[in-house]
Chains A and B, each alone.
Chain A
Amino acid sequence: MLSRKSSTGSAAPAVLFVIVLLLLVGSTLYFHIAKTWWFPPSITPVGNQIDQQFFITFVLTGIVFVLAQVALAWMIFRYRDHGQKAKFVRGNHALEVIWTTITLVIFVGLGIMAARAWGEVHFGGPAPGALEVEVTGVQFQWNFRYPGPDGKFGRIVTKDIDASVGNPLGLDPNDPEAKLNPVSPDLYLPVNRPIELMLRSQDVIHSFFVRELRIKQDAVPGLVIPIHFEIDKTGDYEITCNQLCGLGHYHMHAMLHVMSQADFDQWEKKQWASLESGQ
């Protein structure tokens, strides 16, 4: 069998493979370097850390990606059937050990590096003096509840929920504290101040996502899940829902307005004032 098989040994598939795999590698590199479709800039310190981790992972996996695809292309081209005899090799123990160790070190190393940013988001509580806002998902809308002037949240009663009378959260009408809790369909936050969001849901699972925060967190009925961060750039950002919650999932959308502390204070005062005058 030293002959070349005319039907299967031709160079054409080998050349095609080389072209396609190089195109794959080239285009992938291009879009990652040109950043044609990319992350928006981060607006939190933790977000920057996450971006850093993304960068390290891009570089490492990128190298592996290029090496593996190019090696594949090279092997296919080099060892296409041109009449040679195949080497008789069953394997190589030393090689197995080497590449197992190297991948183990790289993969687990990445995991350990990434643990830090994760810890920043999820271990420990918010810094003292954090502004607490309650975030409630409901098919298909977000509601953001702020504390009253005394910094407290009032009671919520499920049977009082009625969006048609302007009480989408079911604030207890008999609780004076609940009366002074502003509820807003958009999220207003001050810049450079620790924030703690308390995520909950009234019906099914939703997920709170702001790209610029680099944070996504499910809002699970029956649980109150805290997340905390501090924003260092004012601006308007979009909040979306990222866990399938029903047919209106795609338009479960809100805005995040990040403003100076002064503007925020003013906004908050206005909310309280209108609640007080509303009685």
Chain B
Amino acid sequence: MSAHASPIHHSEAPKGWIRHYIFSFDHKIIGTQYILLGLSAVTIGLILSLIFRTHLVWPDAHIWGFANGIVSPEDYLRLITMHGTLMVFFVLTTVPQSGFGNYFLPIQIGAPDMAFPTLNMLSFWTTLLALLVLLSSAFVPGGSAIGGWTAYAPLSAVGQIAGPGQGLGETLWVVSIALFCGGSLMSAINFLGTTIDLRTKGLSLMRMPLTVWGWFITACLALLAFGVLLAACILLLLDRLAQTSFFIPGNLDVSGVVLHHSGGSPLLWQHLFWFFGHPEVYIAILPAMGIISHVLSTFSRKPVFGYKAMVYSLTAIGFLSFAVWGHHMFISGMNPYSALAFSIITLVIGVPSAIKTFNWLGTLWGGKIHFTTAMLFAIGFVSLFVTGGLSGIFLAQPALDLYLHATYYVIGHFHLIMGVAAIFAMFAATYYWFPKMFGRMMNEGLGKLHFWITFIGVYCIFMPMHYLGYAGDARRYSSIESVNYMIPLHPVHFFITISAFVTAGAQLIFYFNFFWSMGHGKPAERNPWHATTLEWAVSTPVPHDNFAGDYPVIYRGPYEYSVPGAADDYIPQHLAPEQVAKAG
């Protein structure tokens, strides 16, 4: 490897267990901490979802931990609120970006660490604190919030009189999210600074792996979006605790109590929330898109089809995502003319998403596809992304959204495209990078079993939700028995719940594979997938400073697979031209 010394080369690895594994400045440790935080959150979120799915189908089922063993309507709302908040913030926002991004961004760009290691540690601990505050709300009087992950005012603003959980529980929810914003902002500054300034010699922007592009654009979105949510949270807290009237209008009578607020606007909260919220959904998916492009290219043994188109579409999505938030508010009472504008921009943002899909198919086309588990998940992602994206085309038309909004159709849409697709990317990332992270291979047989059950399972869970939506089944209903037209939908719900249990069960295979392989997996070579990017150039386990002071020089783009005339079917980015073995 042709290398040059770097002045950033700093510090010995810290001595002592605590400095090494707990209060670590090392981006790899912090990345792992984020991943473990996400794994805890996803486990809790998953269990909560199984409970509320059970309740929907067997309302009388006795469930441990609930008063009289029965899930009450408010418990149901607590469960979905907690589920949504955990999944959106602490899993989808956290793991692909702060988890895998922290671990692999510096390595892929040839840097020793993040630009600001202390800030990095601080963002992790802030995020962890946010999670603890959120979870603690389950144990306060009144229980945790019932306002949904979108916390619409005034339900979220007027306090306990709006319902159990809307007292201290909702306050803790807001505080937790505000903390989370702080952690994410710090993290975004770090990602941007690192990518802008710490790229190694020769790594021009157009030679960056698409993973790096994904993390970079995501950090831009996070930087601009989380500040807005933070501002909104502060205003909401003041409405709750200091009797201000930002979101609370006058003349309200809640549960027989006449409120003294006046003049606030419930729609203001929605505007602020979704101005953050739509970029947020892309924050969840852009790193995933990067990971999927990376994995598809590796295992098709082909360059990413249309690398530049991929970069430009990522960027376009990033910018446009700040101009479409109104599509969540078509029926909110907002100006119907601006609804039309939001509708058209939303449909336009579908175009770069479609471009990405075409290019993924183009990457597979003519390839030599290796069905590793990571690849299976990447292919699954493409299928899910198509399905979930097309339902977005319905929702983007206000005339159709009139019917579909707040039904299970929306749940189907965003779980396929955001929830499950991003989780598939995380699985792909885990199976792909595990050898680099832990020095051992995960078991491929178990991995494949895990994939097939999960892939079929998630379709069985979320496809029928679209049909429920056609029939008008409303989301966030703790029981479907009060509405006559919903009662016949019971079998569909039954099917969904069973599928959810099977799919959740399959995740046990993953947990086992993950933890077992850490200690017992087949030892991994440095570059088991014969991949081209820098993370495969460093030894395993990755040394403390990543490159131990010898920084690689980059000579070419990130996806040089199957180059005619070369002896191997991959040419690493850092290999000097004279070192590339030629065929024949």
Q: Check whether chain A touches chain B (CB < 8 angstroms).
A: yes
A residues sitting closer than 8 Å to B (CB atoms) are: 1, 5, 7-10, 13-14, 16-17, 20-21, 24, 27-28, 31, 36-40, 49-50, 53-54, 57, 61, 64-65, 68-69, 71-72, 75-76, 79-81, 84-92, 95-96, 99-100, 103-104, 107-108, 110-112, 114-119, 121-123, 138-139, 158-159, 161-162, 170, 202-205, 207, 209, 211, 214-218, 220-223, 225, 238, 240-251, 253
Instruction: Given A50-B399, A88-B302, verify A216-B406 contact (CB < 8 Å).
Output: yes
| With A86-B569, A204-B254: A53-B400 Cβ-Cβ less than 8 Å | yes
Q: CB distance B390 to A65 under 8 Å?
A: yes
Q: A75-B365, A246-B155 are in contact. Are A27 and B477 (CB under 8 A)?
A: no
Top 3 A-B pairs, shortest CB-CB distance: A222-B249, A87-B366, A122-B336
Known: A17-B379, A72-B382, A121-B399. Is A205-B368 also a contact (CB below 8 A)? no
Q: For the complex, what is the distance from the CA of A236 to the CA of B215, rounded to whole Å?
A: 53
Q: Determine if B482 and A87 form an interchain contact, defined as CB atoms under 8 angstroms apart.
A: no
Q: Can you identify 5 A-B contacts, CB atoms within 8 angstroms?
A: A38-B471, A103-B350, A211-B403, A240-B474, A247-B146
CB nearest to B154 among chain A residues: A204
Verify B402–A216 contact, CB threshold 8 A.
Answer: yes
Bound CA span A89–B355, Å? 17
* Chain B residues within 8 Å of A87, by CB: 302, 365-367, 562
Contacts of B331 in A (CB 8 A): 207, 216-218
Task: Decide yes or no: A250 and B467 within 8 Å by CB, A81-B369, A121-B402 being known contacts.
Answer: no
A114 to B305, CA, bound (A): 34
Query: Is A107's CB under 8 angstroms from B562's CB?
Result: no
Q: Measured between alpha carbons, how far is A154 from B506 in the docked complex, in Å? A: 61
List residues of B whose CB falls within 8 A of some A CB: 72-74, 77, 146-148, 152, 154-155, 158, 162-164, 249-256, 258, 263-267, 299-303, 305-309, 331-333, 336-337, 339-340, 343-344, 346-348, 350-351, 354-355, 357-359, 361-362, 364-372, 375-376, 379, 382-383, 386-387, 390, 393-394, 396-400, 402-403, 405-407, 444, 448, 452, 455-456, 459, 463, 467-468, 470-472, 474, 476-480, 482-485, 489, 492, 530, 561-564, 568-569
Residue of B at shortest CB range from A208?
B331
- With a CB–CB cut-off of 8 A, which chain A residues contact B308? 91
Quick check: A222 and B264 within 8 Å, CB to CB?
yes
Cβ–Cβ < 8 Å partners of B164 in chain A: 247
CB-CB nearest in chain A for B567: A1
Kindly state the separation between the CA atoms of A158 and B257 in the bound complex, as whole angstroms.
10
- A213 to chain B minimum Cβ distance, whole angstroms, is 9
A100 engages B351 (CB within 8 Å): yes
CB nearest neighbor in A for B354? A103
12 further interface pairs, Cβ-Cβ under 8 Å (given A118-B336, A207-B331): A38-B470, A64-B390, A81-B369, A86-B569, A91-B362, A100-B351, A104-B351, A110-B397, A218-B333, A220-B267, A222-B264, A249-B77
A79 lies within 8 A of B366 (CB): yes
Out of A14, A99, A111, name the residue touching B397 (CB < 8 Å).
Answer: A111
Cross-chain contact B306 with A111 (CB below 8 angstroms): no
Chain A residues with CB under 8 A of B530? 1
A139 touches which of B251, B255, B266 (Cβ 8 Å): B255
Interface centre among A7, A40, A115, A222 (most CB of B within 10 A): A222
